[in-house]
Structures are given as structure tokens and as C-alpha cells.
Structure 1
Amino acid sequence: MNERLDQLTQAMSINNWDVLLITDPKHVYYVTGFASDPHERFLGLLMQRGEEPKLIVPALDGDAAAAASSVSSIVTHQDTDNPYELLRKQINGSIGTLAVEKEQLTVSRYEQLQQFLPARSYIDAGQVLRDMRVRKSESEITIMKQAVALVEDVLAQGLKQVKIGMQEIELVAELEYLMKKLGADAPSFDTMVLTGTNTALPHGVPGSRKIAEGDLLMFDMGVYAGGYASDITRTFAVGQISKEQERIYNTVLEANEAAIRAVKPGVTYGSIDKAARSVIEEAGYGPAFLHRLGHGLGLDVHEYPSIHGLNEDLLTSGAVFTIEPGIYVPGVGGVRIEDDVYVTDNGVEVLTSFPKQLTVLG
């Protein structure tokens, strides 16, 4: 945590920021070690050049912040206080440049800042934080491996619950129960279980459709564990499926593996998408691959980078993201196979290990 504070201090000096205000709760956790959901209350890390960082928290979180945070100066506010007035009192002198997280800042909060912390200019600190987060440390990778192992355990146990006639939503309930039972903090997104022709909906919503013989059965799920997310998709056959469904499956698997082989430091994210997409296009299913190849993974289940064909950013060691090609054919079904991968100094480490060869259930 102190290293991250040092990185931000250096960024402030390089970019000539007088004050940096971080209000995204996940960034506060990332920099200080204090995790909290403040709901509508104000939470922020205030950094001023030449001054000690200050963590501003609701009074009800004061003791927890003092125990967990690497920042020793904790400032609390009551529900009846205006936290922006309190912020102003923590700053010495006038503000030239105030760096904020534009993606986190609402219009209402911006107006409060203009009133109580007027600055000559407002700058977005988002890219600095993004660049810090994209390079995962060894300790972060260890935690993410645990989150992956946990969701794979959930999937393995959940498959034992699959029965002909079971509704999608019933299976979702079983899986989310297993997540908590096995130690997850929470699902990292709404668990998706789709069967039959519903699998042709990339973001379908589980409902009352029942699992039947000859169905494709898709699981897309993840957990938060230790503050970090995992994300995995596997598709299965329920009994005997059609030749076309089998061809779709094998094409997606080939695309998944082609993309993984393309991962190494220094290549563009777009080239990885193209490696997978070309396999699917050559098989005649190009228009049925409806989405980008993947997304970054870490404190958020969806974060930088976005893995699409036009992304010319270069891979760096430490990046973690998903590779999840899919084919979706209305009336026939869909297949998606998703892995979490970690860019190493020399290539790639696949964090997910759940089998990917076509598995027939029942």
C-alpha cells in the first residue's frame, strides 16, 4: 500500500497536480487497504503535495479505517456534516490543479467540489490509476488464483445438481448458495445459467426454461474473493446434441485456444481478438460472434483493457483479462468458452483450469 501511495505522490509531482481526490471505494481500498461500501455517504482519499495523505470516512467507519488503512490520518464526518466543507478545511492554501476520477464523479459531486474546493483546473486521474491497476503484483495474482479456484469448485459441485427438467433459475440459486458456502465474498456479477435456445442470447437472463435432452447448457459465473474477481464460462451438452451444435462448440474452442496462443507482452490487444475472430470467420460463423473477445479483470469484474479488434494498446506483463469467444445462432443455441489469463514476462499463464473439451452431462 505504501508503494502505491508513493506512486501517486510521484504522479502528482510529474503531472503538477496540487491536490488529488480519490473517491472510488475500490481505488480507496487499492491505495490504502481500507475496504468499505459507504453507500450514499462520502468516502475519499485526499492527497496534497507536501502534506500527509488523509482518509475521510463516515464516523461509523472510523475505527475500521484506523485498523485497516495504511494512511494514519483518518478524518471522520457525521451524517449531519457537509463532507465538502470538511474537505476544504483539510487543504492548506489555494488549489491550482485538482485531480479527480472523472468516471466516478457525478454532476452533483462536481458542483460541490466547485463550491467548496474551487480550483483553476480539474484533471482526470483515471489513467494514472488505470495504469497502476493493470499491472498486477504477485500478491494480487495469488489472490486472483484463489478466486478462480473457488469459482471452479462451485462449478464442479454445481454440475452435480444438474437434472433434466430443472429450471435455469433453480440452478442459479444452487450455484450462488455454493459460492457463499465455499467462502466467496459475493458473486462478481449476476450468475448466468442458460439452456437450449436461450444459449443463443449472449446476455440472456435465467428464467423458468427447463433443461432438456439435446440442450446446450451454458454457465457464466464468477466470485469476489479477497477483494478480487474471477469470471469463467463453460458450455456443456445435455445428452446427444446435433452435429451443428458440436461444430459450433469445436469452433469456439479452437478460437479460444488460438487467442491464448497469441498472448505475449508487446502485441496489441486487437491482435488477440483477431486471432480468435479469424477462426470463427473461417468456419462461416463470423456474424454470430457478437461481442469483443474479453475484458480486464481485477478489483472489478470488468475493467481496463477492452479486448476488441481496434484496441492498439500493447500488452504488458502483469495484465489479467478474459478470453471468451462465442458463437450464437438463434433457434440452434450458443457456445461461449471463457478463460482468465495472466500476461507473464515471457508469455501467458492461464489461471482457469476447468476442462474445456466438450463434456456430455447425463
Structure 2
Amino acid sequence: MADLTSHRLTALRAHLGALDAVLITAPYQLRAFCGAEVSAGTLLLTAQGSFLLLDPRYQEAVTAPAQIEIKPYANAQQRLQVLGSALEGARHIGVYAQALTLTEINTLSPGGEFSFVPMDGVLDELTSLLNQTEIGSLQRAEAVTRRALEAAFAALRPGISEREIRQVLLSVIERESEGPAFAPIVAFGARTALPHAHPSSATLQSGDLVTIDAGAVIDGLHADLTETRMFGATQGQDSPAQHLLSVVRGALDAARLATRAGVTAADIDEAARALVREAGLDAQTLRGIGHALGYQTHQPPILREHAQDRVQVGQVLALEPGIYLPGVGGVRLEEMVVVGEVGALPIAEWRVPALLEVGHES
């Protein structure tokens, strides 16, 4: 997808007016900005050009945008020499502070030659704004994830363990995508009250709530979906669990209806939270109901109380309200939506003409 990242790279270079260079080392940002699918590398932008420093073993596997010059290095010492040459005369260097360690700072600038300037907000925003092809890849990742979830729910039977269901999930995700976006969550019964339960040897009983949270990766884009269902429940049966499912479903619908370009992350959170509060369950929910998706599973904007980040056209959000009752059980429902000017579409329904109808431009 190297040719699809040039718009993002151009936007990043616009910040060189206030900086002498921009240095990127986080693997997911390397993929977002230059299409490099590597576990290690360095993207350097200066007034003189754009350079991708790579271990030569990666060189044949990487196709970078035409405006990026690939500079191989044989070892760590040579990497520093190549960087030093490219940074000659530079002073102020923009970095992603969360990815730059103290060891790297001391190695790159042992005598304090460089001033490292955090630009996390800029990089987070640029990686969260997806073009149509990237949204299409994320749509495919969502479809794989949904097939994995359906396979997992179809495999439920009394006595099966959470770990066995995890294997069903992973078999679909690993067969149909680049792999899992994160370690899947599978929880039965009272363990559904744990928002991030690691699959255990716990076995399924009739009447249990079942929560499954998983995601697939395609073209570096991470999907994230959660379903909670009752196992073995009588159709139409009225129960506390059914009430929780109803409240959370209403909260998810409210969050989707509140989502459009320009609203704050807190506005979306409050739309969902109002229904949970009305049900008297606000103390049993988390202090946020979602996040943006893309080259990472969780990235800003984070949809939580008091967050003033404004969502934008081209972002894909995971909306995931939940209610958790310790010792009893919990319900979380999560869907992915594409932000438009006047609304949001579930990504499963996304297509370019439909997105244009809600104000998207490529």
C-alpha cells in the first residue's frame, strides 16, 4: 500500500517548517507513512529528502513511495552513522515520544546535540484519517472478524472451554487475514463481568452469558468487534441478562446516532452513557465507550468522559458500550462505524457512494 500513503507523508512534511527533521521508528507508523511492513526501521524526513533506513534483509520485501530513498545499514553502528549524516546540521527533531526510549535518545544524541520535539498529536491524527482504500481494507478485516465470531458462537456446546473457543476464533482469523489484531477475549458466565478476561479453562453451562472480543488484520489495518449472547436461553425469556443486553444495545444505537464529524469524543460517550445512567447502571460501566481504529487497534480519539477531541471524516470508530456486574456477569457490544459529515455508517454497510452521501471525500 506504499502508493496509498503519499498523502499522509506529504501532510507530515508540511511540519518541517518548524522542525529540522521528523524521525519515525514505531513499526505501525512506518506502515502508515510509507507502506513498510517491518518490525524495525527508521523513517527520516528532512528538508533534503525522505529516507527509510532498513536492515538489508528487509530491503527486497519493501516497496516505498517514489519520494522515499531507502538506505540500508549493516549493523547498529552503521545505522547511527547513516542517521548522523542525514541529520547533519539539524537541531530540532520531531518524534513520537511514546515510541522513543531514553536509551535511544542517549544513543542518538549522547552530547545533547538534538532537541527532540514530541508531535504525538499530529502523528496520531494523521494515522487515524484513512483514505477510501484503507477503509476498504478495514471493512474486509471486519468481515473476517465477523465470520470468526459466528464460527465461535456456532461451536458453543455445554462443557466446551473458553480456550477451545479461542482456537476456533484464531483458526478463522489466521486463515483469512494477516493474523489477530490482539489476543482474543472469551468469557463465560460470571467471568463476562471482566472487561478483559483472558480465556481460561472455564467451561460453558446452559444459560451462561458469552462474551467474545476479537479482531483481524488486513493490509496493516486492525478490526475490533465484540458480541455478548446468552447460551441456551429460552426465546423471549425475561431475565436480568436480557435486560442488560437490551440496555447495552440501546446505548450502542445511541452512540452510533450521535456520531458525525465535528462532535467531541465526550459527546458520543455521553449519548451512550445517558441510557446506562437512566437504567441506574452508570457505576457498572467503564469511563469510556470506544476508540478509533486503523494501524493500531486502540488509537485516538478515545471516546470517554470529558474528552474534547473532535471526530473527523475518514476516521473509523469502534463503539463498545458495556455493563459489568461483578460476580454476576457483563454485556459488551461493539461495532465499527465510518464517520461522515452528518452521520456514521456501520463499516459492513460502507461503500464509496454511500459514504459520499454522508459527506466523505477521499
Calculate the TM-score normalised by the size of structure 1. 0.90
Identify the residue that residue 35 of structure 1 maps to in structure 2. Answer: 37
C-alpha RMSD over aligned residues? 1.7
Correspondence 1:200 to 2:193? yes
1:206-355 alignment to 2 at 5 Å? Answer: 206-240=199-233, 243-352=239-348
* Contact 1:55/1:71 (<8 A) preserved: no
**Corresponding residue for residue 4 of structure 1:** 8
Structure 1 Cα separation of the partners of residues 80 and 111 of structure 2: 6
Could you tell me which of 163, 168, 172 is aligned with 1:169?
163
Output the CA distance in 2 between the equivalents of 1:143 and 1:333. 34
The answer to whether residue 93 in structure 2 is matched with residue 98 in structure 1 is yes
One-letter amino acid matched to 1:305: P
| Larger CA deviation: 123-132 vs 226-235 | 123-132
Corresponding residue to 1:157 among 144, 151, 157: 151
Cα offset for 1:4?
2.3
Instruction: Assess if the C-alpha contact under 8 Å between 2:182 and 2:214 holds in 1.
Output: yes
| Equivalent in the alignment of 1:44 | 42
Is the contact made by 1:339 and 1:352 (CA closer than 8 Å) also made in structure 2? no
Match of 2:140 in 1: 146
| Structure 1 residue 225 displacement after superposition | 1.2
Residue of structure 2 equivalent to 1:358: none
Q: Does 2:50 match 1:56?
A: no
Which residue of structure 2 lines up, in the alignment, with residue 126 of structure 1?
A: 120
Specify the code of the residue in structure 2 equivalent to 1:54: F
User: Does 2:16 match 1:22?
Assistant: no
Residue 69 of structure 1 deviates from its aligned partner by 4.6
Query: Which residue identity is paired with 1:195?
Result: F
Deviation at 1:349, TM superposition (A): 0.9
Q: Say if 2:86 is the partner of 1:87.
A: no
User: 1:95-150: per-residue Cα shift (whole Å, max 9, x none)?
Assistant: 2311111111001001112128822x321122222221222111111111111111
Q: Which amino acid aligns with 1:11?
A: H
Is there any run of 5+ residues in structure 1 with no aligned partner, and where? 354-362
Identical columns (%): 28
Give the partner amino acid of 1:180.
E
Q: Which residue in 2 is equivalent to 1:357?
A: none
Q: How far apart in 2 are the matches of 1:3 and 1:100?
A: 19
1:107 aligns with 2:109: no
Q: Is the 8 A contact 2:301 2:311 kept in 1?
A: no
Q: Distance in 2 between matches of 1:348 and 1:88?
A: 46
> Counterpart amino acid of 1:219?
I
Deviation at 1:72, TM superposition (A): 4.4
- After superposition, the Cα gap between the structure-2 partners of 1:238 and 1:80, relative to the gap in structure 1 and judged at 3 Å, is closer
Cα distance in structure 2, aligned partners of 1:291 and 1:239: 31
Which stretches of structure 1, 4 residues or longer, exceed 6 Å deviation after superposition? Answer: none
Unaligned runs of 5+ in 2: 350-362
Structure 1 pair 163–315 and aligned structure 2 pair: CA distance change class (3 A): same
Q: Find the counterpart in structure 1 of residue 354 from structure 2.
A: none
* 8 A Cα contact 2:151 2:168, kept in partner: no
Contact 1:95–1:117 (8 Å) recurs in 2 = no
Amino acid at match of 2:43: L
Aligned partner letter, 2:212: F
The AA in structure 1 aligned to 2:174 is K
Residues of 2 paired with 1:351 and 1:4: CA distance? 22
Aligned partner letter, 1:114: S
Per-residue CA distance 1:250-298 (angstroms, 9 max, x = gap) = 1111111111111112211101111111111111111110241011110
**What is the alpha-carbon distance in structure 1 between the residues aligned to residue 268 and residue 254 of structure 2?**
8
DSSP 3-state at the match of 2:49: coil
User: How far 1:300 moved relative to its partner?
Assistant: 0.2
Say which SS state the counterpart of residue 77 (structure 2) adopts: coil
**Count of paired positions:** 342
SS in 2 for 1:342: strand
Matched, 1:76 2:72: yes
Aligned-residue offset at 1:80: 5.8
Supply the distance in 2 between the matched residues of 1:158 and 1:252 (Cα, whole angstroms).
Answer: 21
How big is each residue's C-alpha offset from its partner over 1:298-339, in whole Å with a ceiling of 9 and x where there is no partner?
000011111001111222211211111111112321100001
Matched letter for residue 60 of structure 1: R
